[in-house]
């Protein structure tokens, strides 16, 4: 199963909004509402930020939001803060395997 | 507090074996599917293996199928990953993770700190 496609890096200034895309196919992202997003700081374990395309688990800031259009899912971070600097991974259910991850996007706060 | 603690990693020669363990606490272990995810040095996340809450159903990624076996002991709140015929490309940090449901395609909401496996001669 091929990994989902994410941009290698995205950057923004504090207070700005950024969006990270996650492109798959009709066999994964486009076919199911089972897209999730994980945040990973260096040397730390991943943290679930968004599940089922747009649901925020308890405790996750409402500055994080998710959406999907066709075969592309998106994670938007509003009011960018220094603590948001991390790697972000999308994940989707697929027709041929339980889960596949994207290649990851490094978010830099300028 | 929900907690997962991995152990069993280390240095092993190509072709060798290792058994990873993941001790769970703070939640009803037998109610949730569990997952192993790995991350090679400087690389992204890779979903490796999953097991249903009862242990009756498992799934392994193609990259490890036939070499790795996931299992669990619900009486001891422990998850395992038996890794055989190890290759250099299996070198990674291995994380165990709890899913939010009884099946392994669910999202992962609790993660361990990871255990490092290095395959090298």
Best residue of A49, A98, A103 to probe chain B, by most B CBs closer than 10 Å: A98
**Which of the four pLDDT bands, split at 50, 70 and 90, describes residue A3?**
confident
pLDDT value at position A7? 97
Residue of chain B whose alpha carbon sits nearest to that of A48: B109
Question: Can you tell me the distance from the alpha carbon of B44 to that of B21, in angstroms, rounded to the nearest whole number?
Answer: 22
pLDDT value at position B7? 97
**Which of the four pLDDT bands, split at 50, 70 and 90, describes residue B11?**
very high
Question: Can you tell me the distance from the alpha carbon of A16 to that of B35, in angstroms, rounded to the nearest whole number?
Answer: 35
Please name the residues in contact with A98: beta carbons below 8 A apart, sequence gap of 6 or more. Answer: B47, B50, B59, B104, B105
User: Which whole-number Å values give the CA distances from B118 to A96, B13, B82, B87, in the listed order?
Assistant: 29, 8, 15, 9
Question: Can you tell me the distance from the alpha carbon of A73 to that of A42, in angstroms, rounded to the nearest whole number?
Answer: 24
Question: Can you tell me the distance from the alpha carbon of B113 to that of B107, in angstroms, rounded to the nearest whole number?
Answer: 17
Contact A46 B95 (CB under 8 A): yes
Q: What are A57's two structure tokens? A: 């688990």
CB–CB of A8/A106 below 8 Å? yes
pLDDT value at position A99? 93
| Cα of A29 to nearest chain B Cα, Å | 14
B19 pLDDT higher than 60: yes
Question: Can you tell me the distance from the alpha carbon of A60 to that of A71, in angstroms, rounded to the nearest whole number?
Answer: 25
CA-wise closest residue to B2 among B38, B36, B28:
B28
CB–CB of A92/A34 below 8 Å? yes
Please name the residues in contact with A57: beta carbons below 8 A apart, sequence gap of 6 or more. Answer: A48, A49, A51, B109
Percent of chain B with pLDDT strictly greater than 90:
99
A1 pLDDT higher than 60: no
3-state SS assignment for residue A57: coil
**Which of the four pLDDT bands, split at 50, 70 and 90, describes residue A46?**
very high
Contact B50 A98 (CB under 8 A): yes
Q: What is the largest CA-CA distance in chain A?
A: 40
Q: What are the pLDDT digits (tens) for A72-93?
A: 999 999 999 999 999 999 999 9
A42 pLDDT higher than 90: yes
Q: What are the pLDDT digits (tens) for B28-65?
A: 999 999 999 999 999 999 999 999 999 999 999 999 99
B14 pLDDT higher than 90: yes
A65 pLDDT higher than 90: yes
Find the mean pLDDT for residues A13-22. Answer: 98
Question: Can you tell me the distance from the alpha carbon of A47 to that of A79, in angstroms, rounded to the nearest whole number?
Answer: 19
Q: What are B85's two structure tokens? A: 């015929």
C-beta atoms surrounding B41 within 10 Å:
9
**Which of the four pLDDT bands, split at 50, 70 and 90, describes residue B94?**
very high
């Amino acid at each position: 199963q091929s990994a989902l496609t994410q941009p290698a890096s995205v950057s923004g200034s504090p207070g700005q909004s950024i969006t990270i895309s996650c492109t798959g196919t009709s066999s994964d992202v486009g076919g199911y509402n089972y897209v999730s997003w994980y945040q990973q700081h260096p040397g730390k374990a991943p943290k679930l930020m968004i599940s089922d395309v747009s649901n925020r688990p308890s405790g996750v800031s409402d500055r994080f939001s998710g959406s999907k259009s066709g075969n592309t899912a998106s994670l938007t971070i509003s009011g960018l803060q220094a603590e948001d600097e991390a790697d972000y991974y999308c994940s989707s259910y697929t027709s041929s395997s339980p889960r596949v991850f994207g290649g990851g996007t490094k978010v830099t706060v300028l | 507090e929900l907690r997962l603690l991995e152990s069993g990693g280390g240095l092993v020669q190509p072709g060798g074996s290792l058994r990873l363990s993941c001790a769970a606490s703070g939640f009803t272990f037998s109610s949730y599917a569990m997952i192993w995810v790995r991350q090679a040095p400087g690389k992204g996340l890779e979903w490796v293996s999953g097991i249903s809450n009862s242990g009756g159903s498992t799934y392994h990624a193609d990259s490890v199928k036939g070499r790795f076996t996931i299992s669990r002991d619900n009486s001891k709140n422990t998850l395992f990953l038996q890794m055989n015929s190890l290759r250099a490309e299996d070198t990674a940090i291995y994380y165990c993770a709890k899913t939010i449901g009884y099946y392994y395609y669910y999202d992962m909401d609790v993660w361990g700190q990871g255990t490092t496996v290095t395959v090298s001669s």
